[in-house]
Structure 1
């Protein structure tokens, strides 16, 4: 029988460049590398048998990739789709497991607080969704929709009936506005609060500094050296912090902080100084506002809504203190803590910039609208459950 002639191969400059990159690239897979060599040899007019000898491939393999390139070009060197093993589970079964993961275990009568992959697989088998399914299969299904039912976040629902009005006043002050009018140059906004119970934990062995491929090491056991409270007032627009330490929180320590700020310029002679505080016992209610005004006539106390300390910018500063000063906690005594906090205040004030506060009254309206929709949906679901 006559032998079929080898497919002639002619390359464009672009194809030759791409094939050489495939054939000699350091990160090219071995199969792609060999296919590129076959085509490059064929473009030089060599026979299939010679290419097979030089590349170590079978002549049928050489013939296959030579013909595919001749027919399809560069796309012919890629693997063709393979049917593979038929799927063991249907799309409906995967959707049912995902729907189960989006339910609370208590709603299904399962005595669990959170789902895990093995528990979901077990529940799917018990419900007859699938005769058998592994935890790794459940993991792949949930990963497709980024479902992580074992994670949770705590939150507090709005209970303050005047939430919007109180929050709007705070947000307006951050935007240098009060009752619809811009603040004057001699009006200031102070955000104040207390960071309670900063403990002095003296480690029983010295803390080891970090090294190559080794994190800082802090001994687990420690001796207690007492605790103190850190009170701070943050000038929102000047990015300046005033702090003090006290044995405990209360009305008197808070007023000491106010006096520390209001006794110095420019606050002493300012037209008005707005003090934004939360509803802690040290400055709660109208009595606290009257106490502040009677002591300092140019001071105005503004409360955040109940359970909305996240509106108080000084909390951002406290988070910085927690990360950079307090943690890990390794202090010999309370004096050591006080010295460290005061030194950090000086360091912070030297380079601080105002926080880029982006939550506005428009964002507040969007938040309240979402919560209203959530409440309505929850009430509707409760009504359906009770009717059933």
Structure 2
């Protein structure tokens, strides 16, 4: 309620406003608005209110009038303000979307916000808002590869069948080589992580040799049999097969999921497998390494132990890899394969249809 000198507060409203001022968790804009109204109600003049709150006379009058018109709730709301610029027309938005989808900038492969804004005569922020509203991200690209293996269907069904319905009295092992792992040393020592600063590492490095990690992931348990060797020829693969033979129970058959690397099909490897009947190789499709679960393990060891490591020799690198294997095998956890062969094949077929429709 207003009076000649200011406004009159009900006891309830006064208690509420004084509570806002006293509460340290109140939004600051509520606090100074409450102080303006309380000072008007106490008979203070506008000059005193301006001096006490640091606001302008116009602001003091505005929030007095807002309380008179809307009460306590009016002090919580900010007045809506009309936009300084008119909204973009549908034609302009359509032009931005069409150019993003169907055209390319001169001498470039894709649009940036500033390039497109310059062409269409908008601000970069306007182009960004249009892209966000339409889910467009020209700066990003996702990579893919569809296998052209003629036996793609049979190989997918074979490998996925091992994961979802493994044979009795057999171990399913995903086998592969992570080749050419470099022992990299940095040219200068980095700084450790601290509050407010990430750890640092020089962009350049010294190469101190390479090693190859042969690994066999037990699909059922998650345990990994691993061995580092200087090369990855058929001789090393045979050596690793013997390592697998020694480290697995003799009464189990061994179903090995491998890729199509020539080493795995070498005549000497085939001859060795012919003499060791419990070994059965199952090949993933070409360009289908994602079917081999050991690739997921290679991603983990790269992120956890290799990419940011500092190795002054191949020996240091090998020790780090062996330590990671030991730590992993102390508490192994299998990867849970859930995708059915039919679902994978349908997804691939759908991808082929999309590609054919676009080209």
Q: Same fold (TM over 0.5)?
A: yes
Q: Is the 8 A contact 2:39 2:49 kept in 1?
A: no
Q: Show the counterpart of 2:258.
A: 277
* SS of match in other structure, 2:146: coil
Give the deviation of 1:204 after TM superposition.
Answer: 4.7
Is 214-223 or 91-100 further displaced after alignment? 214-223
Query: Which deviations, in whole Å up to 9, do the C-alpha atoms of 1:175-217 show, x marking residues without a partner?
Result: 2x15xxxx32x31110010111112334455x34615345444
Q: Show the counterpart of 2:136.
A: 147
- Determine which of 210, 224, 227 is the counterpart of 1:244: 227
* SS of match in other structure, 1:169: helix
Change (3 A) 1:93 1:204: closer
* SS of match in other structure, 1:323: helix
Question: In structure 1, how many angstroms separate the alpha carbons of the residues matched to 2:194 and 2:44?
Answer: 55
Q: Show the counterpart of 2:161.
A: 172
- Determine which of 169, 173, 194 is the counterpart of 1:212: 194
Change (3 A) 1:60 1:8: farther
- Determine which of 188, 210, 216 is the counterpart of 1:227: 210
Q: Is the 8 A contact 1:233 1:257 kept in 2?
A: no
Q: Is the 8 A contact 1:38 1:51 kept in 2?
A: no
Question: In structure 1, how many angstroms separate the alpha carbons of the residues matched to 2:319 and 2:299?
Answer: 19
Query: Which deviations, in whole Å up to 9, do the C-alpha atoms of 1:245-274 show, x marking residues without a partner?
Result: 2222122211211111122331x221x211
TM-score (normalizing by structure 1)? 0.77
Give the deviation of 1:222 after TM superposition.
Answer: 4.4
* SS of match in other structure, 1:50: coil
Q: Show the counterpart of 2:351.
A: 371
Change (3 A) 1:230 1:67: same
* SS of match in other structure, 1:233: strand
Change (3 A) 1:299 1:210: same
Query: Which deviations, in whole Å up to 9, do the C-alpha atoms of 1:213-238 show, x marking residues without a partner?
Result: 45444455544333222111111112
Task: Give the gaps of 5 or more residues in structure 1.
Answer: 125-131, 383-388
Query: Which deviations, in whole Å up to 9, do the C-alpha atoms of 1:362-387 show, x marking residues without a partner?
Result: 64255235314413532xxx4xxxxx
* SS of match in other structure, 1:122: helix
* SS of match in other structure, 2:102: coil
Q: Show the counterpart of 2:238.
A: 255
Q: Point out which structure has higher relative CO (alpha carbons under 8 A, 6+ apart).
A: 2
Change (3 A) 1:211 1:120: closer
- Determine which of 110, 115, 124 is the counterpart of 2:111: 115
Question: In structure 2, how many angstroms separate the alpha carbons of the residues matched to 1:290 and 1:4?
Answer: 104
* SS of match in other structure, 1:102: helix
Q: Is 1:192 matched with 2:175?
A: yes
Q: Is the 8 A contact 2:172 2:219 kept in 1?
A: yes
Question: In structure 1, how many angstroms separate the alpha carbons of the residues matched to 2:206 and 2:16?
Answer: 68
Q: Show the counterpart of 1:129.
A: none
- Determine which of 28, 35, 38 is the counterpart of 1:37: 35
TM-score (normalizing by structure 2)? 0.83
Give the deviation of 1:66 after TM superposition.
Answer: 4.2
* SS of match in other structure, 2:44: helix
Question: In structure 2, how many angstroms separate the alpha carbons of the residues matched to 1:162 and 1:11?
Answer: 84
* SS of match in other structure, 2:30: helix
Q: Is the 8 A contact 2:146 2:348 kept in 1?
A: no
* SS of match in other structure, 2:281: strand
Q: Show the counterpart of 1:90.
A: 89
Query: Which deviations, in whole Å up to 9, do the C-alpha atoms of 1:313-361 show, x marking residues without a partner?
Result: 1111111221222223532322332232222211211122112334333
Give the deviation of 1:103 after TM superposition.
Answer: 3.2
Question: In structure 1, how many angstroms separate the alpha carbons of the residues matched to 2:152 and 2:20?
Answer: 64
Q: Is 1:158 matched with 2:147?
A: yes
Task: Give the gaps of 5 or more residues in structure 2.
Answer: none
How many residues are matched? Answer: 351
Q: CA RMSD in A?
A: 3.3
- After superposing on structure 2, the runs of 4+ consecutive aligned residues of structure 1 that deviate more than 6 Å are 57-60
